[in-house]
Amino acid sequence: MVEIKTAKTHKGKRELEKRAPKLVESGKKTLILHGTKTSGVLNAVLKEIYHLKKDCAIKYSRKNENIKPFESGGETSLEFFSLKTDCSIFVYGSHSKKRPDNLTIGRTYDHHIYDLVEVGVENFKPMESFSYDKKLAPKEGSKPFITFVGEGFENVEELKHLKEVLLDLLRGEVVENLNITGLDRAYVCTAVSSNKVFLTHCALRLKKSGTVVPRMELVEVGPSMDLVVRRHRPPNDSLRKEAMKTSREKPKKKEKNVKKDAIQGKIGNIYIPDQKIGEMALPNKAKGIKRERREAKLKNESGEHASKRKKDD
Amino acid sequence: METQKLFQVDLGHLMAFNPHHSFSSQPSSREDLVNECLQKGTELVQAITDSLFNLPSTENVDGPLVKLPPPVTKLPREKHLPRPKPPTKWEQFAQKKGIKKRKKDKIAYDEPSGTWKRRFGYDRANDEDAIPIIEAKMNDDPEEDPFAKRRDNKKKRIEKQDKNRLQNLKQAAKVGALPSHVQLAATALPITGTQAAPKKVTKDELGSVAGLAATSTASGGKFDKKLPGEKTARHQGKYRKFLPVVEGSGIGSQEKEQTEKVLNKIFSKNSHNILNVDKAINTYNVKKEKKWRSEKAKASATGSKLKPQKKLHKKSPKKGSSKKGKSK
């Protein structure tokens, strides 16, 4: 007998609905984890990637024995973690004699591995080693500028792939409306040679240029590193086609409290909260409200009125 | 706008790409390389800002808001597109018959009390279950409890509705359009995709199972009809061998050796507590004491009569001393 299981609480139901497939997706979460062995460099790299993406990343600190993304059967527990944490990008660090300081970046589609890129980390410089004006420090979760330099990103297959993966990893939340004042960071990726990419993280300094558009200046805030491409596995063609599907229609928001009437046209209900006149704060300095003055006025009223009347007369 | 020809700018992702620059010669030092990269990056960032600040913006409390154009670079989705829910059996039927959904009033007229009451819930209108007296009819079965029947009917209706709901959900699950907060327990596996393939049964395993089946009759399979090509069952377990007990030149000594081996094993295991020196001394002392006591008792019983015997005993110095003490 099949049993129907539903969420027991409304909170649980909402949480599950967040994970349901959406018409327009709002950004991918990143899972950061490592294998049985990681070097100090790699630990720092994973930590700093986590710091850069803190608003939409989950970091696992335990060793993972049976994760080998490129081998068949080695992705099972990775796919399980992706399902469990609802993450669709993962950054997996491992360190071995054959592939020292190895970073595997991959994406999943429907919680199955979509593509993989493996890079080695060289010349890593952590955030702490950069000194700069702390006022410029980028805020958590701000939308970054992403720049790619070099013909390698267009000609070399691996770098082309890496470019797409890096863009997906670094782009942050997908937004439609952007606050221009919130822009404070940029990633610069440069293809130095056919298999090497220099990646650095910069803060932005806006300077006056005399026009509406400010002059931009980059201040390196780190981390910066060289990524040497090792193995990569591009997505399956059919899977790629499936994953690239988008819908033309926009998700409709339910219109509440609005009726359409043939005679009267559009009728809306408007809610006006109670005015609460009794609790209204009065200006303190009104002279008439002060009790002493009011009483004094009452006392003097008879005399004054008489004199005034006299004058009027 | 000449920069846009040079660079590919994707405003949706705030991304810019300079495909023309190439490092022909490796810069001499790391610093040079970083500086060159930053300089190129600055150009690109400037290009993005140029087009970004030229977009129409609306003023907000926090700052100017810009509506970004849709991104040019397509990135893969995270999950599949939401699939439409298939119509339920009732919805199909209603469609066929042209039945339209209409809203019922919240309040309905309650006949027994003659008032208006809520349609559903506690103290509802026309509540069948709240009728306290059911009038008997001529052709009613006297054995049957009408109240129990009423309860039964209600239960059955609920069961039927549950069954229909499950059927509809199963249909939805088939298409993959199950509502996200619903799970059908039979389909709820931790991972839907890569699972270990069921293990293939090897020839050996099949053979052993067949042998077991063939020997599971009263006669141990001896008088059963053999199928064409069927082999005799493989023997499971050990064959026991009994060596001859009688001493001889060849095999006879083997039996002795075997028992000796077992004995040696047991001895070697317990060698440390075969001789307990303390215990041995204790038992020796106790025995000696007992012996002495019994003899002493004998001596006292026949004391006066056997004096010369007593003298004989005096030979040991210990006994002599005790004797002396007693006499004093």
Q: What is the tens place of the pLDDT at every residue in B28-40?
A: 788 888 888 899 8
Q: What is the pLDDT of residue B228?
A: 76
Closest CA to A239 of A46, A124, A107, A64: A107
User: What percentage of chain A exceeds 90 in pLDDT?
Assistant: 51
A223-236: pLDDT as tens digits: 999 999 999 999 99
Highest mean pLDDT range out of A96-100, A177-181, B310-314?
Answer: A96-100
In this structure, of A141-145, A172-176, A276-280, B238-242, the range with the lowest mean pLDDT score is A276-280
| Among A76, A109, A146, beta carbon nearest to B191 | A76
Closest CA to A198 of A94, A124, A105: A124
Is residue B305's pLDDT more than 70? no
| Among B19, B37, B193, beta carbon nearest to A79 | B193
Give the nearest chain A residue to B194 (CA atoms): A76
Q: What is the pLDDT of residue B299?
A: 84
Distance CA A253, CA A21 (A): 16
Selected residue of A67, A170, A178 to mutate for chain B interface (largest B Cβ count, 10 A): A178
Is residue A313's pLDDT more than 90? no
| Among A144, A168, A190, beta carbon nearest to B40 | A190
Contact B19 A12 (CB under 8 A): no
Residues of B in contact with A73 (CB under 8 A): 194
3-state secondary structure B217-236: CCCCCCCCCCCCCCCCCCCC
Contact A244 B74 (CB under 8 A): yes
Is residue A253's pLDDT more than 90? no
Task: Note the pTM of the prediction, 2 decimals.
Answer: 0.66
Distance CA B191, CA A80 (A): 6
What are the residue ranges spanned by the domains of chain A? Answer: 26-243
Alpha-carbon dihedral of residues B42, B47, B53, B54, nearest 10 degrees?
Answer: 160
| Among A73, A88, A148, beta carbon nearest to B78 | A88
| Among B63, B82, B184, beta carbon nearest to A2 | B184
Residues of A in contact with B190 (CB under 8 A): 80, 83
Selected residue with higher pLDDT from B327 and B279:
B279
How many CB atoms are located within 10 Å of the residue B23 CB?
19
How near does any CA of chain A get to the CA of B75, in Å? 7
B138-156: pLDDT as tens digits: 888 888 899 999 999 999 9
Distance CA A63, CA A147 (A): 34
Q: What is the pLDDT of residue B258?
A: 84
B27 pLDDT band, cuts 50/70/90, is low
Contact A165, A115 (CB under 8 A): yes
HSE-CB at A223 with a 13 A cutoff on CA atoms is 22
Give the nearest chain B residue to A182 (CA atoms): B63
Summary mean pLDDT of chain B: 81
Rounded to an integer, the average pLDDT of B81-92 is: 93
Q: What is the pLDDT of residue B186?
A: 57
Contact A244 B46 (CB under 8 A): no
Residues of B in contact with A68 (CB under 8 A): none
Closest CA to B194 of A203, A62, A72: A72
Residues of B in contact with A5 (CB under 8 A): 182-185, 188
How near does any CA of chain B get to the CA of A301, in Å? 51
Contact B76 A244 (CB under 8 A): yes
A26-243, CATH topology level: Rossmann fold (3.40.50)
Is residue A202's pLDDT more than 90? yes
Q: Is the peptide bond before B132 cis (omega within 30 degrees of 0)?
A: no
| B169 Cβ contact partners less than 8 Å away, ≥ 6 residues apart | A4, B178, B182, B184
How near does any CA of chain B get to the CA of A45, in Å? 19
Burial classification of residue A301, based on how many CB atoms lie within 10 Å of its CB (0-12 exposed, 13-18 middle, 19 or more buried): exposed
HSE-CB at B95 with a 13 A cutoff on CA atoms is 6
Contact B76 A148 (CB under 8 A): no
Q: What is the pLDDT of residue B190?
A: 45
Selected residue with higher pLDDT from B267 and B284:
B284
In this structure, of A10-24, A244-258, B157-171, B296-310, the range with the lowest mean pLDDT score is B296-310
Distance CA A252, CA A22 (A): 12
| Among B15, B65, B193, beta carbon nearest to A179 | B65
Residues of A in contact with B16 (CB under 8 A): 145-148
Tokens of B84: 């439409």
Q: What is the pLDDT of residue A148?
A: 93
A286 pLDDT band, cuts 50/70/90, is low
Give the nearest chain A residue to B165 (CA atoms): A4
A271 φ, ψ to 5°?
Answer: -100, 120
B104 pLDDT band, cuts 50/70/90, is very high
Selected residue with higher pLDDT from B252 and A109:
A109
